[in-house]
A and B are shown apart, each in its own frame.
Chain A
Amino acid sequence: MSYTLTGRIQSRLVATLPPLLVALGIHRWWAIELVALMLVFGVALDICVYDRVLDYQPGWLAVPLGLLELGLIVLAIRMPVTWSSLGLYALGWVTAQICAHALFPRLRLEYAQSGGELERIGAFVAGAVAALTLAAVAGAVAVIPPTVHLHGVVQGPLLITHAQTLVGGTVRGGVVIRADHVTLKDVTVIGGEYGVNVEHAQHVMLDRVRLIRFKMDAVRALDAGLMVHRCSISTPATPLANGVLITYSMGRPMSMVEKCRIVGVREGVTTHSSMVDVVDNDVVGTTLHGISLSEMSMDTARGNHVEGARGVAILCMDHSMCDITHNTITGALVDGNQNPSRQGVAIESYFYAEAHLRHNTVVASPGGVKALDLGVFTE
């Protein structure tokens, strides 16, 4: 088809209506952002490139042009390529094809000979789509959680009950999070019963948080969904303090503990009745368990390095189902001689737990890999 510039832009805007409605319907910022970017890049290309270069556009060209526009969006804003985002983009592309080849020619007989122009109703819808997209972006920007930069030392405990992002600084006495969409970034937390205590909240992000001198757990999550990324946990205030504890969170979105360094605590990462990915962490010198996945949890432990764990390095227990792969366990230590389950075991499946093992490396761990009390391993 030989589009006029007006025809290209009107057709594009009207065909964006379905993905825009989907984006508004699912109420996700990434979706609104993606639709807005589809429009911005598309219209920019229409004006600057397509209208000048393409006197005539055969149907097949929609495929490479669609891939080009997707590539530009991904590169320009480093958009994470997820199935959801690809699906929404694909919806927009397919809708555009259906509109251009079937719907518009059906509804407006002169569509092709008018170069894709849609007359008054089409122009109105196109304008409405542009306005709606702008409004959606503006609305989404308006409700983005505020960012608070902490300076110096703040005396806690700090109670967070609204969505927000805290950046930098030091908090003494711990942080309590009781709101969704809270992010802590580059914050140091000193002391507190719990370093960070997340209760009944989800979409919580702890990014590069450093925790020391906590009394019970560095991070404790109860009925919560959170992402702990690149944390540093060390120097607990008591020998009974744990690293990351995620508990009774099965009803929340999955949690993740990734790329953390956890040193000298009782249990490095512990889960109870939760779904957690424990990935690429360094867990060193724990006194009870390195990583404990327990109480009907459904977890993954992948790519972790557990070093010098006393008793057990990685434990899957109590009816849990664990996917334990690509971990490296070195120097698990024997803990007394009474309990056979704590004889420097690298990976243990205990009490009706089912652990799937693959590609783990075990070094200098006298207890080896053990299944006890009806726990099993699968391969």
Chain B
Amino acid sequence: MRCAIVGSGLAALASYATLRHAGVPADEIAVFGTHADPTSVWRERASSIRQRRMRSESDGHLAAAGFPGLAVREGTASAVARSLTNRYHPTVDLFLEHAAGVRERSGWDASFVERRVAHVRAVDGGFLIDGEGQFAHVLIATGHPGLVHVPGAVHAYEPHDYAPQVAVIGAGMAAATEWRNARAAGSEVVSIRRREPVRRPLNVPRRYFSKRGLAGFHRLPPPARLAVLHELEQPSYPPGPEWDVDLTVADAPPPGFQVIAATGFRKGWREDAVLADLVATHDLATHDRLLDLAPDSTVPTLTDDRRTLSIAGVAARWAFPAADTIAGAKYAARAFTRRVCRTR
């Protein structure tokens, strides 16, 4: 086998679908992960915050090609018109239904190996993945390392109900969703936040999704790039009256309030066992909590004409600021696929 994907979430499925679209046979790809269903982890989180619509737009799906997008697949003129005006956000149900189709059509299950990978080791001409043998090209898409828990609080991404009085810690997309949910449930809502959220449609400004913005981003020296990424980490949620919720802002949860931590995920390569081991073993360059990556999301010192080590998902923000989105997963997947196909 030539290719391995470490991880079995949405980024892994997007990468797998892209490889298959490019003509790489299923028996040349191994997917190592803990969940046969690539949507299961994400589905549970979306269900916990009662998310009904995606923040992403029509092309926020897991198939390799952008067209047809989910607006076209929805099949209504209204959806297409909303997509043209950037007001279309597919339902979670449609996204998951489509993801299931991608999984089935791509042959994901034939390549899936249930295994929690602990080590990826570079060797001459490839990589060893635990005891599974050598692979010339490896893409690591292990996803978010875990949730940031607050003592005494239920995390937004864990199943929960709403008390009559709710304090939500955080100010990002999950927090905004929780404000709406709690208000809809008739609760009094208090927001606990460190920073004022930014109102923007997508996780990062649109220019960072394409070469127009990325070319300048990649030219930045490391300190400036870190500053940009730090700035982009500021919590945000979309503009629009549907997101405007009547709530009180406080410094700490009032006594007697149910506390919901919409505090997101642990961040950085140190929190990810596979990446931490990789950095330690091969002395990889890092910038604060971020791995140093080439613009095509590969690890420069472990990638050459015969082998590729790519990072997809949140750990690839050094290459793509919106790496933890579906667009980010595809960005890494396409570059990875290009390298795989070039060396066939």
Contact assessment for A55 and B21 in the assembled complex, using a CB-CB cutoff below 8 Å = no
Q: Does B173 contact A (CB under 8 A)?
A: no
Q: Does B18 contact A (CB under 8 A)?
A: yes
Interchain nearest-CB distance for A150 vs B (Å): 58
Q: Does B312 contact A (CB under 8 A)?
A: no
Contact assessment for B64 and A60 in the assembled complex, using a CB-CB cutoff below 8 Å = no
> In the complex, which residue of chain B has the Cβ closest to the Cβ of A51?
B212
Q: Does B331 contact A (CB under 8 A)?
A: yes
Q: Does B59 contact A (CB under 8 A)?
A: yes
Q: Does A214 contact B (CB under 8 A)?
A: no
Q: Does A114 contact B (CB under 8 A)?
A: yes
| Chain B residues positioned under 8 Å from A105 (CB to CB) | 59, 65-67
Q: Does B210 contact A (CB under 8 A)?
A: yes
Q: Does A164 contact B (CB under 8 A)?
A: no
Q: Does B211 contact A (CB under 8 A)?
A: yes
Contact assessment for A115 and B84 in the assembled complex, using a CB-CB cutoff below 8 Å = no
Tally of B interface residues using CB under 8 Å: 25
Q: Does B102 contact A (CB under 8 A)?
A: no
Q: Does B207 contact A (CB under 8 A)?
A: yes
Q: Does B334 contact A (CB under 8 A)?
A: yes
Contact assessment for A2 and B213 in the assembled complex, using a CB-CB cutoff below 8 Å = yes
- Bound form: Cα–Cα A113–B333 in Å: 12
Task: Specify which of B66, B67, B212 is in contact with A4 (CB 8 Å cutoff).
Answer: B212
Q: Does B343 contact A (CB under 8 A)?
A: no
Q: Does A377 contact B (CB under 8 A)?
A: no
| Most B C-beta atoms less than 10 A away, residue of A101, A105, A113 | A113
| Chain B residues positioned under 8 Å from A59 (CB to CB) | 83-86
Contact assessment for A2 and B68 in the assembled complex, using a CB-CB cutoff below 8 Å = no
Interchain nearest-CB distance for A104 vs B (Å): 9
Q: Does B257 contact A (CB under 8 A)?
A: no
> In the complex, which residue of chain A has the Cβ closest to the Cβ of B333?
A109
Q: Does A194 contact B (CB under 8 A)?
A: no
| Chain A residues positioned under 8 Å from B162 (CB to CB) | none
| Chain B residues positioned under 8 Å from A167 (CB to CB) | none
Contact assessment for B85 and A2 in the assembled complex, using a CB-CB cutoff below 8 Å = no
Q: Does B79 contact A (CB under 8 A)?
A: no
> In the complex, which residue of chain A has the Cβ closest to the Cβ of B63?
A109
Q: Does A223 contact B (CB under 8 A)?
A: no
Interface residues in B93-148 by Cβ distance below 8 A to A read: none
Contact assessment for B68 and A102 in the assembled complex, using a CB-CB cutoff below 8 Å = yes
**A56 and B206 in contact (CB under 8 A), knowing A114-B211, A117-B211?**
yes
Interchain nearest-CB distance for A53 vs B (Å): 13
Contact assessment for A113 and B211 in the assembled complex, using a CB-CB cutoff below 8 Å = yes
**A114 and B210 in contact (CB under 8 A), knowing A109-B18, A109-B334?**
yes
Contact assessment for A7 and B211 in the assembled complex, using a CB-CB cutoff below 8 Å = yes
Interchain nearest-CB distance for A357 vs B (Å): 47
Contact assessment for A101 and B212 in the assembled complex, using a CB-CB cutoff below 8 Å = no
> In the complex, which residue of chain B has the Cβ closest to the Cβ of A6?
B211
Chain B interface main SS type: helix
**A106 and B65 in contact (CB under 8 A), knowing A58-B85, A115-B211, A117-B211?**
yes
Q: Does A89 contact B (CB under 8 A)?
A: no
- Bound form: Cα–Cα A106–B69 in Å: 11
Contact assessment for B212 and A115 in the assembled complex, using a CB-CB cutoff below 8 Å = yes
Q: Does A93 contact B (CB under 8 A)?
A: no
- Bound form: Cα–Cα A283–B89 in Å: 69
Task: Specify which of B21, B68, B334 is in contact with A113 (CB 8 Å cutoff).
Answer: B334
Contact assessment for B86 and A58 in the assembled complex, using a CB-CB cutoff below 8 Å = yes
- Bound form: Cα–Cα A55–B210 in Å: 11
- Bound form: Cα–Cα A271–B207 in Å: 66
**A2 and B209 in contact (CB under 8 A), knowing A60-B85, A113-B331?**
yes
| Chain B residues positioned under 8 Å from A21 (CB to CB) | none
B216-232 interface bits toward A, Cβ cutoff 8 Å, 1 = contact, 0 = none: 00000000000000000
Interchain nearest-CB distance for A19 vs B (Å): 22
Contact assessment for A113 and B67 in the assembled complex, using a CB-CB cutoff below 8 Å = no
| Chain A residues positioned under 8 Å from B83 (CB to CB) | 59
Contact assessment for A3 and B212 in the assembled complex, using a CB-CB cutoff below 8 Å = yes
Contact assessment for B211 and A109 in the assembled complex, using a CB-CB cutoff below 8 Å = no
> In the complex, which residue of chain A has the Cβ closest to the Cβ of B212?
A2
- Bound form: Cα–Cα A117–B207 in Å: 15
> In the complex, which residue of chain A has the Cβ closest to the Cβ of B335?
A110
| Chain A residues positioned under 8 Å from B210 (CB to CB) | 1-4, 112-115
Q: Does A111 contact B (CB under 8 A)?
A: yes
| Chain A residues positioned under 8 Å from B314 (CB to CB) | none
B41-63 interface bits toward A, Cβ cutoff 8 Å, 1 = contact, 0 = none: 00000000000000000010000
Contact assessment for B85 and A55 in the assembled complex, using a CB-CB cutoff below 8 Å = no
Q: Does B192 contact A (CB under 8 A)?
A: no
| Chain B residues positioned under 8 Å from A4 (CB to CB) | 210-212, 215
What are 20 A-B pairs at a CB distance below 8 A?
A1-B210, A2-B209, A2-B210, A3-B210, A56-B207, A59-B85, A59-B86, A105-B66, A109-B21, A109-B66, A110-B334, A111-B66, A112-B210, A113-B209, A113-B210, A113-B334, A114-B210, A115-B210, A115-B211, A115-B212
Given contacts A4-B212, A113-B331, 18 further A-B contacts (CB under 8 A): A2-B206, A2-B209, A2-B213, A4-B211, A55-B212, A58-B86, A59-B83, A59-B85, A60-B84, A101-B67, A105-B66, A105-B67, A110-B334, A112-B59, A113-B210, A113-B211, A114-B210, A115-B211
Closest 5 CB pairs of A and B: A59-B84, A105-B66, A115-B211, A2-B212, A2-B210
